[in-house]
C-alpha cells in the first residue's frame, strides 16, 4: 500500500483570517506531506507495509509510529474545520459536554488550558472513553489516543509549525483562532 495525502475538504484560503493560506501551504502541503513520504519510505519491507493507519497508530514503534500517527493526526485535525461550520456541539455530544464540564464554555476553557500548557510539541485531545465518558488529554509529539483504546473526537495541534507563521510564539492566540474554524457538526458526528 502506498499512503497518500488526503485532500483538504476546503480551499487553502478558506480558514482565513484565523488560519492563513500560507500556514496551510506549509502545514498541510509540506509538513503533512513529509510525514506521508517518510512513512512510505519507512514501511517498505516491514510488517506495516500493507496495514491501515489505525493499525500503525495502535501498534507501531519508533519512526513508523511517529510518522504514521502524525499522518493520522493531521488528517483528523484538518478534517475538523470548515469556514462556515456549526459553532457549538449538538445532540449526544452536547449533552455529554454539559453533563461533564457544566457548559460548553467551561469545556472550552479546560480544553484551551490543556492545549496551552502542553510542554513542547504535541496534541490536545477530547476523547470518548469506553464507558462513554469524555476526557481531555495532552499527548506529546505524535501521541494518539487510539493507542489507549480511546475514541478521538477533537484535537488541537500545538506543534509550533501549526501556528508560527500566523501567530509566532503566541500559542494562546492560535488556540483562540482554532475555536473559530471548528465545525461542530463534524465533531458531534464522531461521538
Question: In this chain, which of 18, 64, 125, 157 binds Mn ion, going by CB under 5 A?
Answer: 157
Q: Is 72 in the site for Mn ion (CB under 5 A)?
A: no
What would the DSSP string read from start to end of 68-112?
HHHHHHHHHHHTTB-TT--SS--HHHHHHHHHHHSSHHHHHHHHH
Nearer to Mn ion, 118 or 134 (CB): 118
Angle at 6 between CA 164 and CA 137, to 5 degrees: 55
Per DSSP (E only), the strands in the chain are 122-128, 134-140, 151-157
**What is the smallest separation between the CB atom of 122 and Mn ion, expressed in angstroms?**
10
Site residue total, Mn ion (CB under 5 A): 3
Using CB under 5 A, which of the segments 44-52, 90-98, 115-123, 149-157 binds Mn ion? 149-157
Q: Which three cell numbers stand for residue 111?
A: 480544553
Q: Is 159 in the site for Mn ion (CB under 5 A)?
A: yes
Residues 6-45 within binding reach of Mn ion (CB under 5 A): none
Q: Which residues lie near Mn ion (CB under 5 A)?
A: 157, 159, 162
Amino acid at each position: 500500500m502506498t499512503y497518500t495525502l488526503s485532500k483538504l475538504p476546503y480551499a487553502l484560503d478558506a480558514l482565513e483570517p484565523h488560519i492563513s493560506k500560507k500556514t496551510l501551504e506549509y502545514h498541510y502541503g509540506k509538513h503533512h506531506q513529509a510525514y506521508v513520504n517518510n512513512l512510505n519510505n519507512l514501511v517498505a519491507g516491514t510488517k506495516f507495509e500493507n496495514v491501515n493507519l489505525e493499525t500503525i497508530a495502535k501498534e507501531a514503534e519508533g519512526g513508523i509510529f511517529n510518522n504514521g500517527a502524525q499522518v493520522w493526526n493531521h488528517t483528523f485535525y484538518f478534517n475538523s474545520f470548515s469556514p462556515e461550520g456549526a459553532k457549538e456541539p449538538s445532540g449526544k455530544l452536547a449533552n455529554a459536554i454539559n453533563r461533564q464540564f457544566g457548559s460548553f464554555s467551561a469545556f472550552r476553557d479546560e480544553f484551551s488550558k490543556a492545549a496551552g500548557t502542553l510542554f513542547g510539541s504535541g496534541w490536545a485531545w477530547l476523547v470518548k472513553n469506553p464507558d462513554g465518558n469524555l476526557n481531555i488529554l495532552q499527548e506529546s509529539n505524535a501521541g494518539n489516543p487510539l493507542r489507549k483504546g480511546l475514541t478521538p473526537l477533537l484535537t488541537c495541534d500545538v506543534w509550533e509549525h501549526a501556528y508560527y507563521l500566523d501567530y509566532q510564539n503566541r500559542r494562546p492566540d492560535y488556540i483562540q483562532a482554532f475555536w473559530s474554524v471548528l465545525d461542530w457538526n463534524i465533531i458531534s458526528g464522531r461521538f
